[in-house]
A = this chain, B = another copy of it.
Amino acid sequence: MNAYQDLVKRHEEIALLQACNALLSWDQETNLPAKGVAYRAQQRAALSEKVHELKTSEDVTRWLDACQDDSDGEASANAQWWRHAYERARKIPASMVGEFEEVTSLGLAAWQEAREKSDFALFQPHLQKIVDFNRQMADLWGYEESPYDALLEEYERGATAKNLAVLFADLKGPLVELVEAAIAKSADQPPRSLQGDYPIEAQQAFNLEVCQALGFDLDAGRIDTAAHPFCSRLAPNDTRLTTRYDLSDFTSSLFGVLHETGHGLYEQGLPQDKHALPSGTSISLGIHESQSRLWENQIGRSRAFWEHWLPVAQKHFPSLTDWTPEDVTRAVNQAERTFIRVEADEVTYDLHILLRFELEKQLIEGTLTVADLPEAWNASFKNLTNLTVPDHAHGCLQDIHWSMGALGYFPTYSLGNLNAAQLHAAALEQTPGLSDDLAQGNYASLLHWLQTNVHAHGSQLLPDELMTRATGRSTDKTPYLEHLRERYIH
């Protein structure tokens, strides 16, 4: 056996344990009885430890050195990927990994209490430790311009603080103007209210029909209920979506399903037989989010979608009888200034991200102290939206990410939005008759385009390469702004 085959075998062993952990985690969100949580945590930690051992053993380094010059393109890309990942991993001492886990698990608990009581002081010392740890790790990983780059690398390979700052600065001006106009228009023409009585079984039946029509293979996946919707590929041919139900508004579970179906189609579109290898694994959060947002927003909130699906929805929900596709489209595209990111509409959403990106970059670069964060948040929010944050639960304490130690994660949400619009526009341009297909509820040609241009590559193309090959250019603001303008202004 040559070194590359040794590496493949090792990663199949790793993938097998990770698949166990993925099931343990999925089950924890969907089924686990309350008293089973403590042992489950032990179980997951023990498997993670085994995975860590398998990844960091010396033979892996030896094998990687030995297959330096492999000629096969895919094998060489996989080896490069591992080399990059393990070099990074080796820079962080094991003791620090353990400490960081403790810091973030305490941080998470403190954040939960702090948010509940809207009391930043309870979270401040924990956030301080988390920021310090992230800064230390950035220094160990190394970077060229900003320590924030080293953190970004974890979620979006190739992205830098500098590039993102340019991209987002470019976006900000037109977006703020657009928000203004969209809100004025929404206020001018208030939509009908969708509030009603939607039994859970009817919602499930409708969601399932839509999910299947988009191309999700339910013989290789399923939909369950969870408090916080997510998508997880547990193993090859086993991709599971979750959603949650609001009995007074069917669109809550539906858009949850559309979003997670987007993630799920990406996971199902990856070569399943390579699930243990970089070439069979998704490339980045910004690309993953582009898939979920494309199906949720470009498709699911379009007029064409509702022209096709309203008659079906009416069969499941008799109270929609006198609604028109125009009514529903307007109801699900209402622009409004709100405090909470996860409740934001499509047009205001990125303002929440721009704010977080700026602040976390400053925290890591040392130009903002943790103590000054709440004030900076509130000032920045006022500046972006003209709203006054009423309390920290509606401000800097609203998101879970920092408490879990994740700095550098937020920008991938906006990258996802930009990429979604850009990929959608490219698919329309490159696929004759696609508009007509979509209008008829036929999604096969769009899915095929995404499979070919995004999914099939696994991690073989970095995000920027992938976007450039698929759309002819790097991620930029233009298609996204056009999309928002089209939807919210015209």
Contact = CB atoms under 8 A, between A and B. Distances in A.
B39 A235 contact: yes
B20 A237 contact: no
A19 B39 contact: yes
A220 B33 contact: yes
Interface in A33-60: 33-36, 38-40, 42-43, 46-47
A244 interface: no
Given A20-B20, A20-B24, A40 B220 contact: no
Contacts of A237: 33, 35-36, 38-39
A28 to B, nearest CB: 10
Contacts of A235: 36, 39-40, 43
A238 B35 CA distance: 7
A44 to B, nearest CB: 10
A220 B24 contact: no
Nearest to A32: B238
B222 A35 contact: no
A27 B27 contact: yes
Q: A16, A47, A221, A238: which has the most chain B beta carbons within 10 Å?
A: A238
A233 to B, nearest CB: 10
A236 B234 CA distance: 23
B34 A219 contact: yes
A218 interface: yes
Interface residues of A, number: 32
A342 B435 CA distance: 57
A23 interface: yes
B36 A236 contact: yes
A119 interface: no
A490 B220 CA distance: 55
Nearest to A27: B23
Nearest to A238: B36
Interface string A2-38: 0000000000010010011001100100011111101
A42 B16 contact: yes
A280 B219 CA distance: 39
A47 B20 CA distance: 10
A37 to B, nearest CB: 9
A16 B236 CA distance: 23
Contacts of A42: 16
B16 A46 contact: yes
A238 B46 CA distance: 18
A217 interface: yes
A217 B33 CA distance: 10
A23 B36 CA distance: 12
A296 to B, nearest CB: 23
Contacts of A224: 31
Contacts of A220: 33-36
Interface in A451-487: none
Contacts of A46: 13, 16
Contacts of A238: 32-33, 35-36, 39-40
B218 A33 contact: yes
B16 A219 contact: no
Interface string A211-249: 000000111111010000000001111100000000000
A42 B17 CA distance: 12
Nearest to A239: B33
Nearest to A21: B20
Q: A35, A46, A219: which has the most chain B beta carbons within 10 Å?
A: A35
A26 to B, nearest CB: 9
Interface in A89-118: none
A58 B388 CA distance: 69
A24 B24 CA distance: 9
Nearest to A217: B35
B24 A43 contact: no
A43 B27 contact: no
Contacts of A217: 35
Interface string A185-223: 000000000000000000000000000000001111110
Contacts of A221: 33
Contacts of A23: 23-24, 27
12 contacts: A16-B43, A20-B47, A23-B23, A32-B238, A33-B219, A34-B219, A35-B220, A35-B237, A36-B220, A36-B234, A38-B237, A39-B236
Given A19-B43, A33-B222, A34-B219, 7 more contacts: A13-B46, A16-B42, A19-B39, A33-B221, A35-B238, A36-B236, A39-B235
The 10 A-B residue pairs with the shortest CB-CB distance, nearest first, are A36-B238, A35-B237, A35-B220, A34-B219, A20-B20, A39-B235, A36-B237, A39-B236, A35-B219, A33-B220
